[in-house]
Amino acid sequence: MTVAPMRDTEAGSSDEPAALTDGIHLVVDALKRNGVETIYGVVGIPITDLARLAQASGIRYIGFRHESDAGHAAAAAGFLTQKPGICLTVSAPGFLNGLVALANATTNCFPMVQISGSSERHLVDLQRGDYEEMDQLPAAKMFAKAAYRVSRAEDIGRGIARAIRTAVSGRPGGVYLDIPAAVLGEVLDAEEAKSTVWKLVNPSPRQLPEIEMVDSAIDLLANAKRPLIVLGKGAAYSQSDEQIREFVETTGAPYVPMSMAKGLLPDDHPQSAATARSLALKKADVVMLIGARLNWLLGHGDAPQWNPDAKFIQVDIAATEMDSNQPIAAPLVGDIGSVMDSLLERAKPGQITVQTEWREELAAKSAQNVAKMEVRLQAALTAHPMKFLGALQSIRDVLADNPQVYVVNEGANALDLARNTIPMQLPRHRLDSGTWGVMGIGMGYAIAAAVETGEPVVAIEGDSAFGFSGMELEAICRYDLPIVTVILNNSGVYRGDDPSTSSDPAPTALRARHEYMIKAFGGKGYQATTPEEVAAALREALASGRPALIDCVIDPSDGTESGNIAHLNPKGITVK
């Protein structure tokens, strides 16, 4: 806070100086007024004092080593809390680093706001070569739900209000807010500045579905022979857990959860068709999508993965999502909680029933697939060197005794196999690579889960995926967070036995003893070469409540290229 020269009052001249404030104080005031409790970021010119002031004012500041990781943390915070996570970055390179996470948040429909300092407009616009000169606003517009620039300190409160409301309302997403250095340093009369900051009222209003479409959806389900419900991460984000569970159980319809929707109903629920997913998609005649999109993760709704005659019901807050890949017979446009309330209210008791034959067919296929998987699991337990599935079974068994643990998961084989091996019992306890399948979310998501919930976190990482954000082990140790990082280390991207065609290592080759990294920062490091050692280390690490890392030595020959999506990776021809 600065002090102004003396000013005249109505009674005449006074020696009392006018109280002043500046743009930095207004940013912090606006964030606090709107309930922001945590900022994730990387400090530097021109936002270092903003971070200092935020911390001094009671906002928790979590400092990262790379802006992308801070942005991923803010996005995960948005998913977990339904409030926009805040990411603070410096200008130009820092802004661009954060933009990766902002784009990923928008793609995954996570609310976050990236606030970046920037160079002076009069210098940028004439391209005079200022420090970190860059016109950041148009770059952000390409990848965010919206982007705004504040050009006057008196508009800071308005800008933050606009950014928060935009991020969280309708379909959530990432919003960019550009604040030039001169605006952060601009001085205003403190009393006059108070009125420029306000608290948002109802930033994410309910959107009610049309009753006609609700009744149409109920009729479609009532007349279906093989109905199926698909739960997406939008259903998890909505926190409509009780309504969704009541609707699923009332209808008796089988359901398939997408990976981040696992735990909305326990994975061992009798109506879960997760272990018979392929059959369920191939034969379902009426499919209700709740917070799930018919994108590449669901084969765009196309045959042969889907029944070509299937009729789709879609629950989504964005009308523009309807018909994006397949005709939607009953578009239920609204927030998921309101839609589920309407469905429960309008459906008559016993109106929707599921044929016994359909349930039995899925149950038989599920039992068959589980038996096949059990053979693989048993073989993996005694394999040496250790297999992915051997390590994952040990992790599964430890997590079964610790259901409060949040699971973060990324990689190729590490992601695919963990998703199918480790069941979830609680909603929003699994965070993974999501819609883009992007690598590098691991440590950011883990830090956000620990900070926002206070619960322990286990991050299950492929060794390649971990490399994108591994330096954040230092941040985990600096803040003493209860995060155990488990690295499935098969010494390579996809696998570690790819032969080299030159004197250099193969393009997919990696080599690391990751447990030494966390020791350098003050955490506990383990190396595990058997499933028993994995289990013992994980139990000890979770019991300690402190940062730890387990480097699981996996057979370099274990793993497939690109995991379950190898068909997306074209092979080059061999030239002789």
pLDDT per residue as tens digits for the range 335-383: 999 999 999 999 999 999 999 999 999 999 999 999 999 999 999 999 9
Classify domain 21-194 at the CATH superfamily level: Thiamin diphosphate (ThDP)-binding fold, Pyr/PP domains (3.40.50.970)
Residue ranges, comma separated, of all CATH 3.40.50.970 domains in the chain are: 21-194, 383-497+505-562
What is the predicted pLDDT for the residue at 565?
A: 73
The two three-digit tokens of residue 347, written as one number: 């459906």
User: From CA 21, how far away is CA 28, in angstroms rounded?
Assistant: 11
pLDDT (0 to 100) of residue 360: 96
d(CA 197, CA 329): 45
The residue ranges of the chain whose pLDDT is under 70 are: 1-15, 563, 566-567, 572-576
- Give me the pLDDT at residue 568, please: 73
Show contacts of 224-227: CB within 8 Å, 24+ apart.
224/285, 224/286, 225/285, 225/355, 225/358, 226/283, 226/284, 226/285, 226/286, 226/355, 226/358, 227/251, 227/253, 227/254, 227/284, 227/285, 227/286, 227/287, 227/288, 227/352, 227/354, 227/358
Identify the pLDDT of residue 573.
Answer: 63
pTM of the model: 0.94
CATH level 3 topology of 211-362: Rossmann fold (3.40.50)
Question: Nearest 5°: CA angle at 388, between 570 and 279?
Answer: 65
Three-class DSSP labels, 376-418: HHHHHHHCCCECHHHHHHHHHHHHHCCCCCEEEEECCHHHHHH
List C-alpha distances in Å: 436 to 104, 106, 509: 7, 10, 24
Please give the span between the terminal C-alpha atoms of the chain, in angstroms, as a whole number: 72
Question: What six digits make up the tokens of 473?
Answer: 């082990």
Q: Strands 112-118 and 457-462, how do they pair?
A: unpaired
Inter-helix orientation angle 531-544/388-400, to 10° = 40
* Superfamily (CATH) of domain 383-497+505-562: Thiamin diphosphate (ThDP)-binding fold, Pyr/PP domains (3.40.50.970)
Helix (DSSP H) and strand (DSSP E) numbers for the chain: 22, 20
CB distance 444 to 64 below 8 Å: yes
Report CA-CA distances (Å) from 170 to 78, 291, 542: 14, 13, 38
Two tokens at 20? Answer: 């002043």
